[in-house]
Amino acid sequence: MTLSLGVDTGGTYTDAVLVRDEKTVVASAKSLTTRHDLAEGIGLAVAEVLDTADVARSEITLASLSTTLATNALIEGQGERVALVLVGFGAKDLERHGLSDAMAGDPVLFLEGGHDHTGGQAKPLDETGLRSWLAGIGKDVSGFAVAAQFATRNPEHEQRVSEIIREVTGKAISASHHLSAKLNGPKRAITAVLNARLVGIINRLITRAQTRLGELGVHAPLMVVRGDGALISAEMALERPIETILSGPAASIVGARWMTGQTDALVSDIGGTTTDVALLRDGRPAIDPNGAQVGPFRTMVEAVAMRTTGLGGDSEVHFVTRGLQSGLELGPKRIVPVSLIATEAPKIVHETLVRQLRSDVSDVLHGRFLKAVDGPARSGLAARETALLDRIGEGVKPLDLTLKNRIEHSVLARLVGRGLVQVSGVTPSDASHVLGLNTAWDQVAAEMALDLFRKQVAGGGQVLAGSATDLAQMIVDQLTHQTGIALLEAAFAEEGDRFEQAPAELARHTLMQKGLAGHRGLVRVETGLNLPVVGLGASAQTYYPQVGKLLGCEMEVPEHAGVANAIGAVVGRVTIRHSGTVTCPSSGCFRVHLGGAPQDFADVDKALSHLEDTLRGTAQQAAETSGAEGIRVNAMRDIRTAEIEGNDVFIEAEITVEASGRPRIAV
């Protein structure tokens, strides 16, 4: 008999679930995610689920955590200020793969050094230049990312740069060769940058979670869900937080398979911030061969092939005009629903909304509020940013009485991007309160906020909606439409028969949309999804039945859809993958590239055997360190040869070793 505790900390809710013998859900609970101190929400959810199940804390043999925080932080452009050291690269490389956008104005150093494709040194490392630069920048950033040219063929310069940074600053370092064994320096650099940005966010989550669980009497080892759905130790997640991107969605797919038994379906998980869609085929989610993509960033992190859209229950509602026409768009950023923030500061929110409703002037700042967030580092703030943050102070503030001029709009955007301030406004969650689909928060505040929003005037002079109820239905209909688009895009992306247009174009194509509406003219058009959809998330039961009708497909929302992530966190396996390469820089020389200096062999079979044996050992050890037992190790060889004058000539080989086992149960 085993009892496992699964916890998922999302952008809006923190979920907890108890599963016995990996077969039965004993109890589940929800609590609002407390961003100022994540442990509060974790503690509330775990305490409730333990009380509901009426079990002894000592019975719990495994605790596991999945989270959407890393994904949401990247989607919302949040994260701490970091510096990037590029060794052997030039300014042009900064523009590749969105690396310049990822830096968002944070400091970058181009440093002499790097290696060539064989692992030989291209130029000596400029240690003097590095030390000089660090002396002026070290105090202004929370951490560093390091990427050197061909570091996966020889990481010596990345290792030396990391040593110097640690010596001079003592700050956290993300070295690209630790995160991926693949070529493509700029892409490895962006992975290292995002990893560095997430260190503080994930560190606060895991350390506080461990502390709070201990206070509640849960002393089982803590595991964390990785982006491919596998489990890793909390210690490994602290070193490589980037591997937790898509952790929550990956856990939800594992949970969906466990709850429904579906083997071939689209799994769509709606949270507060994002909608995550993945294809379940033959009972297993596919791994994205190009690396996980979240928002605009393509990383080198192995993760479930997931399409993540900035669309959720707490997505910001935008009023858009096109000529004389007007309408709505949702997302991609999350804001705090007015109905939720009103539960924290009812007097301020209600009085503000009443004042604004009595105003003769419609203002885009009406119905919006601000709240400072404790926790994130405030280093590197400009004077205007510090001044605005001080003015916001503690508690909830009306936006229209806080900003003094237009310049402060961009200042506020930077504070929100750093995770220092939260904005509140109209969201689908508020619409669901107005329609009576949700009663968890302040319905009166939601009605007043939507009443303000509906009065915005389009180019033709008409107001957006006749009543708050009408606007609420428009918002829910827009959510249904955008969810349908997200599902169609995912289906077209995985479709075996390729089409000429991109999935985004096909999903929005006139014929596609006419077919969904059942067009009957001289031409009959019928379109829809040809496989089931499993709907997950706290609000899935509210929104997804209508999505199923729109797409003409089976929509299954399982009993525990609202805690699928937490369930997936405790029914997964520990899986570690290590890979390495053998190249042939010259005739009769076979070079093995691992984590240190390259090693040369005169015989290709000996080179391959050495690489595989080493990888098997390191993967087995890493799996054991991550808390696995009953480990199985498999190796896959990808050997590339070329035919030259009738003979097969070795070009390159990549070996990947996978060690997988069940999480070790505490005794």
Question: Is residue 554 over pLDDT 90?
Answer: yes
Q: Is residue 666 over pLDDT 70? A: no
pLDDT digits 0-9 by tens, 606-651: 999 999 999 999 999 989 888 888 999 999 999 999 877 777 889 9
Where does the pLDDT of residue 77 fall: very low under 50, low under 70, confident under 90, or very high at 90 and above?
Answer: low
- Burial category of 110 from C-beta neighbours within 10 Å (exposed 0-12, middle 13-18, buried 19 and up): middle
Give strand pairing partners of 574.
231, 661
Residue 193 Cα distances to 4, 89, 433, 456, 479, angstroms = 34, 15, 40, 41, 33
How do beta strands 533-536 and 555-556 pair?
Answer: parallel
Most confident among 36-45, 63-72, 531-540 (mean pLDDT): 531-540
Please say if the pLDDT value at position 350 is more than 90.
yes
Asked whether the beta carbons of 627 and 663 are under 8 A apart, the reply is yes
pLDDT at site 157: 95
Q: Which residue has the higher pLDDT, 248 or 505?
A: 505
- Interatomic CA distance for residues 441 and 127, integer angstroms: 57
Name the amino acid, one letter, at 403.
L
Rg of the chain over Cα atoms, rounded to whole angstroms, equals: 26
Q: What angle do CA 485, 562, 420 make, to 5 degrees?
A: 80
Would you say 278 and 285 are in contact if contact means Cβ atoms under 8 Å apart? yes
In sequence order, what DSSP letters do the residues of 633-656 get, joined into one string? EEEEEEEEEEEETTEEEEEEEEEE
Reported residue count of the chain is 667
The pLDDT assigned to 607 comes to 94
Range among 30-39, 94-103, 654-663 with highest mean pLDDT value: 654-663
Q: What are phi and psi of 43, to 5 degrees?
A: -60, -45
Q: What is the pLDDT of residue 303?
A: 81
pLDDT (0 to 100) of residue 13? 84
pLDDT score recorded for residue 600 = 94
pLDDT, mean of residues 245-262: 87
Backbone angles phi, psi at 302, to 5 degrees: -70, 120
Rounded-to-integer distance, Cα 349 and Cα 354, Å:
9
More confident position, 471 or 66: 471
Q: What is the pTM of this model?
A: 0.75
Average pLDDT, integer, range 147-159: 92
Mean pLDDT of the chain: 89
More confidently predicted of 94 and 452 = 452
Note the pLDDT of residue 323. 67
- Per-residue confidence (pLDDT) for residue 386, from 0 to 100: 92
Is the pLDDT reported for residue 78 higher than 90?
no
pLDDT for 253 beyond 80? yes
Which has the minimum average pLDDT: 127-141, 252-266, 474-488, 610-624? Answer: 127-141
Residue 245 falls in which region: left (phi positive, over 0), alpha (psi -120 to 50) or beta: beta
Residues 4-35: pLDDT tens digits?
A: 999 998 777 899 999 988 778 889 999 988 87
Which tens digits make up the pLDDT trace of 355-364?
Answer: 999 998 778 8
Instruction: Give the whole-angstrom CA distance, residue 249 versus residue 197.
Output: 20
375 closest CA partner among 74, 75, 37, 77: 37
Residue of 98 and 193 predicted with greater confidence: 193
Whether 240 shows a pLDDT value over 90: the answer reads no
Amino acid at 16: A
60: DSSP letter: E
Distance CA(250)–CA(67), nearest Å, equals 10
Evaluate if residue 667 carries a pLDDT over 60. Answer: no
pLDDT-derived band at 295, boundaries 50, 70, 90 = low
Looking at residue 375, what is its pLDDT? Answer: 67
pLDDT of residue 536: 94
Percent of the chain with pLDDT over 90: 56
